[in-house]
Structure 1
Amino acid sequence: MSTTTERHGEEARPVLTARNVVRRFGGLMAVNDVSFDVRQGEILGLIGPNGAGKTTMFDLLAGSVAPSSGEIILNGVAVAGEGAYRRIGRGLGRTFQIPRPFPNLTLLDNVMLAAQGQAGERLLSNFLRPWKVAEQERVAHAKAMELLDLVHLTRLAHEPARVLSGGQRKLLELARVMMADPALILLDEPAAGVNATLLETIIDRIRDINQRGVTFLLIEHNIDMVTRLCHRVLVMASGQLLCEGTPEEVARDPRVIEAYLGGAA
């Protein structure tokens, strides 16, 4: 595995920045003055014990929750006041710990639905510019099939999504998020509920997509996966950023050991 300084050193520009981000829920401080950068081209891990604030941090970055204070900067643009839909348009994609595909639609249709800026979404275009709608449909179909091939689901392309296992649903969700051409993907526990064989496929697909220039920030409890995939790791505990470094550095940090074994939540 390449080290941070070799491939993703300080000179790599940040594609996403959290600056002094705070989120309160009533009297609960879920995220407390957290700052970090996600650097272009890296795979950055976010770990911590249960209740550390990781999922809330993801919600803040994705735009589904607004910060109580602080800044979130995506490709140089302050986006703390924007919702999730606007951030998708700026190149930020997100997966979820429990994927929820449309169960009665085929895998192909599930992926095609994630295509952005389709003329067919506007009713009048179907009457006034049917040729453009048809052409975009052909392009989206071809792209969706390529992405299903990327995640090794081509043979199931015309099957309903309800037939998929948990691990296959994670792969389908990865194909769906790639359909929107993201520059950065937030991955929420890609290893959760996945058998060992499919986990290897998911790891390989993440590496392949990263080699295409896509940046990743992932929450994960599977430390072996984090160690194998991530160039840097952030550790949260009690809503705060505890430390950051390479997987090896983080694993040796006594604060991390205390957070996991000493009961921090």
Structure 2
Amino acid sequence: MSALNERLEEDTPTPVLTAKNVVRRFGGVTAVNDVSFDVRRGEILGLIGPNGAGKTTMFDLLAGSVQPSSGEIMLNGAAVSGEAAHRRIGRGLGRTFQIPRPFPNLTLLDNVMLAAQSQAGEGLLANFLKPWRVKAEEKAAHDKAAELLELVNLSRLAHEPARVLSGGQRKLLELARVMMADPAIILLDEPAAGVNATLLEVIIDRIRDINARGITFLLIEHNIDMVTRLCHRVLVMASGQLLCEGTADEVARDPRVIEAYLGGAA
């Protein structure tokens, strides 16, 4: 390898998340077929495609709720293809869902605090042997949760039960909960779905604010206006395969993308 190539490799940061030749079969159906891509550290990457394209299965594979039939998934340079979802959370991967399901009778503050990782108070003995440590960690979690609710414009509802929230507010609450675990990357599953125009603007602003803190995003979204405004790059899937990638404008003009949407690819 030349000195120039060595220097270029050193200057290229390790992708925060990588899919390499990933395949997932369900019986005789191939939902994801030999898909490869990198999510670059610090970017907002969009994943779009017609219904049935394999986007949600790809998210499940990346998050660890589904295991690949073949191929490899790397998180912060480590192979995680066989790891469960909770272990990937510990490695810095967070995920939201299209339909958020907070604990309806708990306050917003408690919902966010529950997402705190590795608390000493989770162990029975620590509550007796190290009560000062448990108390200090609980206070830190409380303060952090309050700060995150402020970040997502929900602080005025901090002590209200989560059942009072609208659909858009629940998505903001879920974003705060994911942030509680200090993720390096967040997978967002259709953050615009079912959200009114006013709250959608808030969600877009909050994603930008969080991204400015160095958090990477990969999002599935059907709202092309949101994708165009937010995403640095866009991946397009159709029929379980990666069709193309580029800027939002580039993929919108790609004849293969137009065919996939208008031609009814599944």
1:29 counterpart = 2:34: no
Total equivalences in the alignment: 256
Contact 2:14 2:77 in 1 (8 A): no
2:186 counterpart residue number: 185
Q: TM-score, normalised by structure 2?
A: 0.95
Cα distance between partner residues in 2 of 1:12 and 1:42:
12
Deviation digits for residues 114-160 of structure 1, max 9, x if unmatched? 00010000111111111000000000000000000000000000000
1:238 counterpart residue number: 239
1:152 counterpart = 2:153: yes
Cα distance between partner residues in 2 of 1:11 and 1:42:
14
Shift >4 Å, 4+ stretches: none
Contact 2:14 2:76 in 1 (8 A): no
1:100 counterpart = 2:101: yes
After the TM superposition, which residues 75-90 of structure 1 pair with which residues of structure 2 at under 5 Å, given as runs? 75-90=76-91
Q: Name the SS of the counterpart of 1:13 in structure 2.
A: coil
1:200 counterpart = 2:201: yes
Q: Name the SS of the counterpart of 2:159 in structure 1.
A: coil
RMSD: 0.8
Deviation digits for residues 152-211 of structure 1, max 9, x if unmatched? 000000000000000000000000000000000000000000000000000000000000
**Residue type matched to 2:103 in 1?**
F
Give the unaligned 5+ runs of structure 2.
1-10
Q: How many angstroms does 1:12 deviate by?
A: 4.5
Q: How many angstroms does 1:13 deviate by?
A: 3.2
1:5 counterpart residue number: none
Q: Name the SS of the counterpart of 1:14 in structure 2.
A: coil
1:259 counterpart = 2:260: yes
Give the unaligned 5+ runs of structure 1.
1-9
Deviation digits for residues 205-243 of structure 1, max 9, x if unmatched? 000000000000000000000000000000000000000
1:120 counterpart residue number: 121
Q: Name the SS of the counterpart of 1:249 in structure 2.
A: helix
Q: TM-score, normalised by structure 1?
A: 0.96
Q: Name the SS of the counterpart of 1:45 in structure 2.
A: strand
